[in-house]
Structure 1
Amino acid sequence: MSLHEDARAVLTAWAAPDAGQEELRASYLAHLETHDDAMWRTCLPGHLTASSAIISADGARVALVLHRIHRMWLQTGGHCEGDDTTLVAAALREATEESGIAGITVLPEPVRLDRHAVPCGGGSFHLDVQFAAVAPDGAVLVRDPDESADLGWFPITDPPEPTDDSVRDLIAAAVAAVTAHGPVHP
């Protein structure tokens, strides 16, 4: 199965939690239907991306990165790459690269979708498929200066500023998914 086919299957099977998320889900599927290259950053005016909110093993904190360009605290994530075989694999790769944490578990279903404008390609948009992830017990963040301006653990109820509602909404959805999923690590 190709990454494009995986994205179509994941989004087809996903039960959106509300009308706004269902509208985004339908638009993502339409984009996949009309763009064979929808998974790649070269697809303009927009392309699918994968991200995740990394929740600490105790469920109390979230790992966020300070984006170098936007200067906002955001979840880990980004463009799909040629070696990614699934959206979950892309989200896991990005989470591992940006947090420096080995052994992250990404839950298998998206928790929300977010469409936002970005400067890549001279101005386009990301159709972000967002997942919940859990760090192993005792995980230590290791910042790669090529990945972010800063990196930190923050209380799930008090993310740092500047951030935005999409990040706060993702944190809430990720915490709910992790709680509903039950223990992830032995």
Structure 2
Amino acid sequence: MPDPAIRSPALDTRAADLIGRLRAWLPLDPGQAALRDEYLGFALASPETALERHGGPEHVTGSCFVFTPDLAQVLLCFHKKGRFWVQLGGHVEPVDGSVADTALREAREECGINDLVPVGGGILDLDRHALGGGFSCRTHWDVGFAAIARPEAAAVASDESEDVAWWPVAALPENVPPQFARRLAGVLTELAHRRG
């Protein structure tokens, strides 16, 4: 029987989409599976505000790991506020139909490559992290997706980033967030499993 919360007309369609995607995802990593259950609880507890930037100090964000077609390089931006290299992404905006749409829109805006092609068929990574003093919110419940860029595509930094650059997945820059290498490895493992 369908969850009554998903049929509720008051439920934000973006929240319903996220809940459906979370329920459909069977992560390979047990830690990601446990986190998926926490995300489900968070989204179901406050579907009207969980995805809203101004809905409270904690909310869902969408991010996109952009790769070359051979998955050998990842496109990272140097985040102005965070002062580190990280995947592209940001807050859900009213124009976004889903968190997946958020991830792709943010990636396109932040790297200047408009013809990114989504890959992986859904959620590939979850990362709930506290934010430092330079941010207006306290915690991001980030939902990670992936996309492929043409090898010849030239990335251009946006106003939110100081730089955008390709990095070998096996040789990331030193100043990435804690656990970023683990996250990237998890995304690549999920992609390999789905392609295999």
- Aligned residues of 1:134 and 1:178 also touching (Cα < 8 A): no
Please point out which of 176, 189, 195 is paired with 1:163. 176
Paired amino acid for 1:3: R
2:30 is aligned with 1:16: no
Give the SS at the match of 2:179: helix
Post-superposition offset of 1:46 = 0.8
| Bigger shift: residues 168-177 or 55-64 | 168-177
Post-superposition offset of 1:92 = 0.4
Distance 1:166 1:133, change over 3 A: farther
Cα RMSD, aligned residues only? 1.9
What pairs with 1:100-139 in structure 2 (closer than 5 Å)? 100-107=112-119, 108-119=121-132, 120-121=135-136, 123-139=137-153
Paired residues, what number?
181
Counterparts of 1:65 and 1:71, CA distance in 2: 10
Give the SS at the match of 2:56: coil
Paired amino acid for 2:78: L
- Residue segments in structure 2 that go unaligned for 5+ positions in a row: 1-11
- Residue segments in structure 1 that go unaligned for 5+ positions in a row: none
Post-superposition offset of 1:169 = 2.3
- Aligned residues of 1:41 and 1:47 also touching (Cα < 8 A): yes
In the alignment, what sits opposite 1:90?
102
2:156 is aligned with 1:142: yes
Counterparts of 1:136 and 1:31, CA distance in 2: 36
| CA shift digits 1:1-48 (9 cap, x unpaired) | 811111111111111223321221111111111112100111223111
Counterparts of 1:46 and 1:20, CA distance in 2: 21
Post-superposition offset of 1:180 = 4.5
| Identity between Structure 1 and Structure 2 (%) | 34
2:72 is aligned with 1:60: yes
In the alignment, what sits opposite 1:51?
63
Q: TM-score, normalised by structure 1?
A: 0.89
Counterparts of 1:16 and 1:178, CA distance in 2: 11
